[in-house]
Amino acid sequence: GSWSVTADGSKVLTQAASAAAITTAGDPWTDYAYQAEVKMPISNANAGLLFRVQDANNYYMYRINAATQVVELYKSVNQVLTLVASAPFAARANQWYTVKVFIEGNTVKGYVNGALMTEWTNPVTELTAGKIGFRTTSAGVSFDDALVLAPPA
């Protein structure tokens, strides 16, 4: 993908192409909370947070899919992307959303704007640590204010 820093009220990270794009950062953390602001420029876009990223083929992803009006939790293991949880969500174009995940052990909780949307426990111990990142297949999607914290006590 082609990522750049652009101005949108503040400086944000924006994906320029409409091909699948991933960018990652951080250390191989285990249990943590990760959140970012996301905005999709069109009604059929998607924007996702990646976590416990081991490489481009092995990670978890929690995303807003505006095209199908859902939030989705995926796991990717050996390049096999599997939808493991989803919930209805009325996403609109050109609106900022706070997307957050809590990952502790094998349990993942996904939130949008502070509301718990999905919760799933992986029955298999895999993807136990990794970096964070962003993923989208839509041009013009922006990410801002990424934050990683220790999980809640």
What confidence tens digit (pLDDT) does each residue in 19-59 have? 665 667 778 889 999 999 999 988 889 999 999 999 989 99
Name the pTM for this structure. 0.86
What confidence tens digit (pLDDT) does each residue in 99-117 have? 999 999 999 999 999 999 9
DSSP structural state of residue 139: T
Query: How many angstroms separate the CA atoms of 46 and 138, rounded?
Result: 6
Query: How many angstroms separate the CA atoms of 140 and 18, rounded?
Result: 8
Average pLDDT over residues 123-149: 90
Any idea where the domains of the chain sit in the sequence? Answer: 3-149
What confidence tens digit (pLDDT) does each residue in 59-94 have? 999 999 999 999 999 999 999 999 999 999 999 999
Q: What is the 3-state secondary structure (H, E, C) of 100-137?
A: EEEEECCEEEEEECCEEEEEEECCCCCCCCEEEEEEEC
Tokens, residue 80: 């096999």
Tell me if 3 sits within 8 A of 13, measured CB to CB: yes
Query: What's the confidence (pLDDT) of residue 140?
Result: 82
Given a cut of 70, whether residue 16 has pLDDT beyond it is no
The set of residues, in sequence order, having a beta carbon less than 8 Å from that of 109 and lying 6+ positions away, is: 101, 102, 103, 116, 118, 119
Which of 73, 55, 57, 75 is closest to 65 using CA atoms?
73
Query: How many angstroms separate the CA atoms of 113 and 11, rounded?
Result: 21
Residue with tokens 């924007």: 47
How would residue 15 be classed by pLDDT, with cut points 50, 70 and 90? low
Query: What's the confidence (pLDDT) of residue 88?
Result: 98
Query: What's the confidence (pLDDT) of residue 19?
Result: 60
Domain 3-149 sits in CATH at 2.60.120.560
